[in-house]
Amino acid sequence: MVKKEQVEASLTSKLKPVHLEVIDISGGCGASFEIEVVSEQFEGKRLLERHRMVNAALEEEMKEIHALSIKKAQTPQQWKPSQDTATPSKDA
C-alpha cells in the first residue's frame, strides 16, 4: 500500500515543488491519487514532458498505484496568475 506521505516525499525530493497537493481518492487504500504540483523544474517543458517527470519521480510508487490523476503540472509563473484571480482588483 502506498501512503499519501510517500507520494509527497518522493515528489518533494525530486521536483522541489513550490506547491504540492496530494489527495488519496481511493478511500485510504493508496491505489489512486490526484495531484497538483507546481515546480520550477517544469520551466520550458511541454505538458507531456511534465507528466513524464511526475511519473518518473514516482517510479517506485507507481508499481502499486493503479490510478494517478495529474490535475496540475505547472511552473510557478503559470500558477501565480490563477492565484491572483481570487483577489478583487483595487480598480473594481
Angle between the 4-15 and 47-57 helix axes, to the nearest 10 degrees?
120
Residue-range domains of the chain with CATH: 4-74 (3.30.300.90)
Please classify residue 47 by burial: count the beta carbons closer than 10 Å to its beta carbon, then call 0-12 exposed, 13-18 middle and 19+ buried: exposed
- Residue 43 pLDDT grade (very low, low, confident, very high; cuts 50, 70, 90): very high
- Whether residue 81 is predicted with pLDDT greater than 90 in this model: the reply is no
CA distance 55 to 81: 26
The model carries a pTM of 0.85
Average pLDDT of span 60-78 = 95
Average pLDDT of span 55-79 = 95
Is 27 within 8 Å of 70 (Cβ atoms)? no
- The two beta strands, 67-74 and 19-24, are unpaired
Sorted by sequence, the CB contacts under 8 Å of residue 67 that are 6+ apart come out as: 25, 26, 31, 32, 33
pLDDT in tens, 15-30: 999 999 999 999 888 8
Is 41 within 8 Å of 24 (Cβ atoms)? no
3-class state of residue 65 by DSSP: coil
